[in-house]
Amino acid sequence: MSLQIGDQAPEFSLLSDSKEKISLTELRGKKVVLYFYPKDDTPGCTKQACDFRDALPQFTDQNTLIFGISKDTAAKHTKFKEKYKLPFTLLTDENADVCEAYGVINKKSLFGKTFLGIQRSTFLLDENGIILAIWRKVKVPSHIQEVLQESN
């Protein structure tokens, strides 16, 4: 069963780029954007991260926190953040448990090979951890504007 708008977001506790544990329950009281992406420092993922970076003041004005989640290690996240001056937290889900809980692991194919990978997806949660909006198979251009409009 896949997550729907109005569902309670699956709880998690993940290691951040600064090697601290972040759990969803600690974030109550603020809106939260969880964006799942395939891999640090790849063209689409970099564009998406930089778009969130550039829009951060608007999200902050809306009392909304941004978290990027991928299977990359905390060390890779740190390099990615430093390289692009990303001012929000990246979370590592190396075992893909949270990715599975949010239903973002899907079959992908590249050069004729099929594999399981993260489908670019974004979830907007309210102050109580209820899902307000879901974007699956995200196309990076204009995505940030859609998320900003929904979080307003």
Give me the active site residues, please. Answer: 45
What whole-number distance in Å separates Cα of residue 3 and Cα of residue 16? 24
| Burial (Cβ within 10 Å: 0-12, 13-18, ≥19) of residue 65 | middle
What whole-number distance in Å separates Cα of residue 99 and Cα of residue 70? 8
The phi-psi region of residue 109 (left if phi > 0; otherwise alpha if psi is between -120 and 50; otherwise beta) is: beta
Q: Give buried/exposed letters for 39-62 (b at 16+ CB in 10 A, else e).
A: ebeeeebbebbebbbeebeebeee
What whole-number distance in Å separates Cα of residue 26 and Cα of residue 96? 21
